[in-house]
Amino acid sequence: MSVSVSVEVRPVVSRRDLKEFIELPFRLHSTSRQWVPPLRLERRLFLSRRQNAFFKHGEAEYFLAWRDGHVVGRISAQVDHAFNSFHGNAWGMFGFLEFEDDVEILHALVGAAEGWLRARGRDRMVGPMDFTMNDESGVLIEGFEREPMIKQPWHPPYYQARCEEAGLEKAMDLFMWELEIGDRQKIVPVIFELAEQVGPKHGIRIRKMSRRSLRRDMDRFADVYNAAWKDNWGFSPYSKEDLDYYSQELQLVFDSDWFMVAETAQGETVAMAITVPDINQVLRKMNGRLLPTGWWHFLNRGRIIDRVRVGFLGVKPEYQHTGVAAALYIEHFDMAASTPRTWGEMGWILETNTAMNRGMEAMGGRIVKRYRVYEREL
């Protein structure tokens, strides 16, 4: 008779532990045709308490689940003090969730995260998110057959089943919409009418960011983001340190065709769109490493990437009547006609964001992935 070996969860305390934390998804998902291996160096920097700006306003602990001397799961527990301050709550978060197909492993991981968060006075645990809702978020529950795009997680179907067996409850679903941005026939005609009025009627023009202006434009982005998204579930405002860090990330994938600013004649920023070429197409070829040939694929990314992710498209509330969102949509279609990037996905978009989801329908989009964020009262 075989005897089940219990699961032990311990914090990450050494370089070896951190390597195990980073390597676990490679072992769990490397045989999947969909999963895209991250760059190991990037993961190490992202998890660094010295490098990642999250730790200017947050704290976190990383945990590994061990069984019989082998790592079988991982999780993080984190507190985002900026999020708590903005919402006036005492939520805690969890993230970086990976585990073998065994609910006992997940129970042990969730228990460790709960204990850490309770000790810091948290009354609710929400996740997964790595570290915030603007990083990889949710458990994939639809769209398993599709490759993830940049900053999208991929999970096998058992993740959802085990999360719900472990007593985690749905907090929110996040949608990814596919847009065939080379196909104008699917667009509702009123979108073109609204876009044509933006300049003559409202004096708003669209310009493209440059690499040199990127950091300054990220301050303008934050003005739009903090105004347009502030009522959204899970929102947290960007700080200066966040913008410094995010700007450095964006430099690696910057493409002036797809980074857009909408301004009045007086120079006020009223809307932004940050659409990112899908670097995951390159990461798949790099297989997690710069050497020996990964760097070559990265330098040739312009020839490899044919799709984009519309990560942020927002309008200040006082300008949402102008049709500037429609103008940004049409600019995306124009870029698809003149660049190698002919299609993409937009989101995530909250299931409760009726206006944006209707906008995606008007653009001829369809939901192709759904991610679920879970919660538990502590």
Q: Do the beta carbons of residue 137 and residue 99 sit within 8 Å? A: no
Q: Give the pLDDT of residue 290.
A: 67
Between the alpha carbon of residue 322 and those of residues 205, 295, 361, the distances in Å are 12, 44, 19
DSSP letters for 269-329: EEEEEEEEE-THHHHHHHTT-STTTHHHHHHTHHHH--EEEEEEEEE-GGGTTTTHHHHHH
- The residues, any chain, with a CB within 8 Å of residue 132's CB and separated by 6 or more, are 54, 80, 83, 93, 236
Tell me how far apart the alpha carbons of residues 113 and 106 are, in angstroms, rounded to a whole number.
Answer: 11
Q: Give the pLDDT of residue 190.
A: 86
Domain residue ranges of the chain, discontinuous segments joined by + = 8-175, 178-370
Q: Give the pLDDT of residue 303.
A: 78
Tell me how far apart the alpha carbons of residues 49 and 142 are, in angstroms, rounded to a whole number.
Answer: 33
Between the alpha carbon of residue 163 and those of residues 47, 97, 107, the distances in Å are 24, 10, 9
Q: Do the beta carbons of residue 350 and residue 367 sit within 8 Å? A: no
Tell me how far apart the alpha carbons of residues 269 and 223 are, in angstroms, rounded to a whole number.
Answer: 8
Tell me how far apart the alpha carbons of residues 153 and 136 are, in angstroms, rounded to a whole number.
Answer: 6
Query: Cβ-count burial of 2 within 10 angstroms (0-12 exposed, 13-18 middle, 19+ buried)?
Result: exposed
Q: What is the 8-class DSSP label of residue 7?
A: P
CATH match of 8-175 with 3.10.350.10: no
Q: Give the pLDDT of residue 292.
A: 67
Tell me how far apart the alpha carbons of residues 256 and 260 are, in angstroms, rounded to a whole number.
Answer: 8
Q: Give the pLDDT of residue 2.
A: 42
Sign of the CA dihedral running 81, 82, 85, 86 = negative
Tell me how far apart the alpha carbons of residues 185 and 203 are, in angstroms, rounded to a whole number.
Answer: 28
Ranges under pLDDT 70 in the chain: 1-5, 181-183, 288, 290-297, 299
Token digits of residue 42 = 């990037």
Q: Does the model's pTM come out above 0.75? A: yes
User: What is the CB-side half-sphere exposure of residue 73 using CA atoms within 13 A?
Assistant: 28
Token digits of residue 209 = 């960011």
Q: Residue 140 CB: number of other CB atoms within 10 A?
A: 23
- The residues, any chain, with a CB within 8 Å of residue 243's CB and separated by 6 or more, are 215, 218, 219, 221, 222
Amino acid type, 10: R
- Look at the block and give the residue holding tokens 């929102």: 235
Q: Residue 144 CB: number of other CB atoms within 10 A?
A: 15
Decide whether 8-175 matches 178-370 in CATH topology. Answer: yes
Tell me how far apart the alpha carbons of residues 256 and 370 are, in angstroms, rounded to a whole number.
Answer: 29
For residue 286, what is the enclosing H or E element?
helix 280-286
CATH code, residues 178-370: 3.40.630.30
Query: What does the radius of gyration of the chain's CA atoms come to, in whole angstroms?
Result: 21
**Angle 79-247-336 from CA coordinates, rounded to 5°:** 115
